[in-house]
Chains A and B, each alone.
Chain A
Amino acid sequence: MTAISVENLSIAYGTVQAVDHVTFEVRRGEFFGILGTNGAGKTTTLEMIEGLRKPDGGSIQVLGRSPWPRDSELLPRIGVQLQASSFFERLTAREQIGTFASLYGVDRSAADSMLEAVGLDDKADARVEDLSGGQTQRLSIACALVHDPELVILDEPTASLDPHARRNLWDILRGLTHSGRTVVITTHHMDEAEALCDRVAIMDAGRILELDSPAALIRSLDSPARIAVDARTLAADDATRINGVTGIETDHDVLTLVTRDPSTVLGELARLQCLDGVQVRTGTLDDVFLTVTGREYNP
Chain B
Amino acid sequence: MNDTAAERSSAKASSFAAFGALCVAIMKGFVRDRTSVFFALIFPLMFLVLFGGIFNFDQSSQIKMIQVGDVALFDNLPADARHGLDELFDLSRSDDLAAAIANVRDGDAAVAVIESDGDLVAHYSQTDQVKAATVQGALRSFVDGANVAMSGVAPAFSLRTERVEDESLEAIQFITPGLLGWAVAMSASFGAAATLNGWRNSKLLRRLQLAPVSTRTIVGSRLVVTIAVALFQMAVFLGLGTALFGLKLSGAWLASVPLVVIGTLCFMAVGLLAGAVAKTTEGAVNMANFIVLPMSFLSGSFFPLDNAPSWLKFVSNLLPLKHLNEGMTDVMVRGQAWTAILQPALILAGFAVVVTFAAAKLFRW
Q: Which residues of A contact B (CB under 8 A)?
A: 50-52, 70, 72, 75-76, 78, 80, 82-91, 95, 98-100, 102-105, 127
Q: CA of A72 to CA of B29 in the docked complex: distance in angstroms?
A: 27
A91-B212 contact given A52-B206, A105-B14, A105-B18, CB 8 Å threshold: no
Q: A87-B202, A99-B25, A102-B18 are in contact. Are A75 and B210 (CB under 8 A)?
A: yes
* Complex contacts, B202 vs chain A, CB 8 Å: 84-87, 89
Residue pair A103, B213 in contact (C-beta under 8 Å): yes
In the assembled complex, 17 residue pairs joining A and B whose CB atoms fall closer than 8 Å, in A order, are: A51-B210, A52-B365, A70-B209, A75-B211, A80-B207, A82-B203, A82-B206, A84-B201, A86-B207, A87-B202, A87-B204, A89-B29, A90-B32, A95-B28, A102-B17, A105-B17, A105-B212
A87-B202, A102-B21, A103-B213 as given contacts; A82 in contact with B207, CB under 8 Å: yes
Counting chain A CB atoms within 10 Å of each CB, the highest count among B18, B22, B214 belongs to B18
Give the contacts of B1-49 with A (CB-CB under 8 A): 14, 17-18, 20-22, 24-26, 28-29, 32-33
Q: Which residue of chain A has the shortest Cβ distance to B11 in the bound complex?
A: A105
In the complex, which residues of chain B have a beta carbon less than 8 angstroms from the beta carbon of A52?
206, 209-210, 365
Contacting residues, chain B, for A104 (C-beta < 8 A): 211-212
For the complex, would chain A's binding face be called helix, strand, loop or mixed by DSSP majority?
Answer: loop
Which of chain A's residues have a CB closer than 8 A to the CB of B24? 99
- What's the least CB distance linking B157 to chain A, in Å? 70
* Beta-carbon contact of B21 and A98 below 8 Å: yes
Majority secondary structure, B binding face: helix
Q: Which residues from A are CB-within-8-Å of B207?
A: 80, 82, 86
A82 to B209, CA, bound (A): 12
Q: Which residues of B have CB within 8 Å of A98?
A: 21
* Number of chain B interface residues as a range: 20 to 34
B203 and A103 within 8 A (CB): no
Given contacts A90-B28, A90-B29, contact A100 B211 (CB under 8 A): yes
A residues near B203, Cβ cutoff 8 Å: 82-84, 86
Which B residues lie within 8 Å of A78 (CB)? 210
The A-contacting residues of B in range 343-358, CB under 8 angstroms, are: none
B335 in contact (CB, < 8 A): no
Is residue B342 within 8 Å, beta carbon to beta carbon, of the partner chain?
A: no
The chain A residue sitting closest to B17, CB to CB, is A102
Nearest-CB residue, chain B, relative to A76? B212
A210 CB, min distance to chain B CBs, angstroms: 29
Tell whether B198 is near chain A: CB-to-CB under 8 Å.
Answer: yes
Which residues of chain A come closer than 8 Å to B337, judged between CB atoms?
Answer: none
- Name the residue among A51, A89, A91, A100 with the largest chain B CB count within 10 angstroms: A89
Report whether A103 and B28 are in contact in the complex, using a CB–CB cutoff of 8 Å: no
Does residue B81 face the partner (Cβ distance < 8 Å to A)? no
Residue numbers in A under 8 Å from B206 (CB-CB): 52, 82, 86
Q: Given known contacts A82-B203, A86-B202, is B22 in contact with A99 (CB within 8 Å)? A: yes
A102 surroundings in chain B (CB, below 8 A): 17-18, 20-22
Does any Cβ of A come within 8 Å of B208's Cβ?
yes
A103 to B208, CA, bound (A): 9
By beta carbon, the residue of chain B nearest A127 is B32
When the two chains form their complex, are residues A88 and B212 in contact, meaning their CB atoms are under 8 A apart? no
Looking at the assembled complex, report how far the CB atom of A142 sits from the nearest CB atom of chain B, in whole angstroms.
13
Report the separation of the CA atoms of residues A82 and B207 in the bound assembly, to the nearest whole angstrom.
7
**Which residue of B has the minimal Cβ distance to A98?**
B21
Chain B residue with minimal CB distance to A82? B203
Contact A75 B212 (CB under 8 A): yes
Pairwise interchain contact B17-A99, C-beta atoms closer than 8 A: no
Q: Which of B18, B32, B33, B201 makes the CB contact (< 8 A) with A103?
A: B18
Question: Please, which residues of chain A bring their CB within 8 A of the CB of B198?
Answer: 89
User: In the complex the two chains form, is A91's CB within 8 Å of B29's CB?
Assistant: yes
Residues of chain A lying within 8 A (CB to CB) of residue B212: 72, 75-76, 103-105
- Identify the interface centre among B14, B204, B211: most chain A CB within 10 Å of its CB: B211
Q: A78-B210, A86-B206, A105-B18 are in contact. List 5 more A-B contacts (CB 8 A).
A: A52-B365, A72-B214, A82-B203, A90-B28, A103-B22
Tell me the residues in window 180-212 of chain B with beta carbons closer than 8 Å to chain A beta carbons.
198, 201-204, 206-212
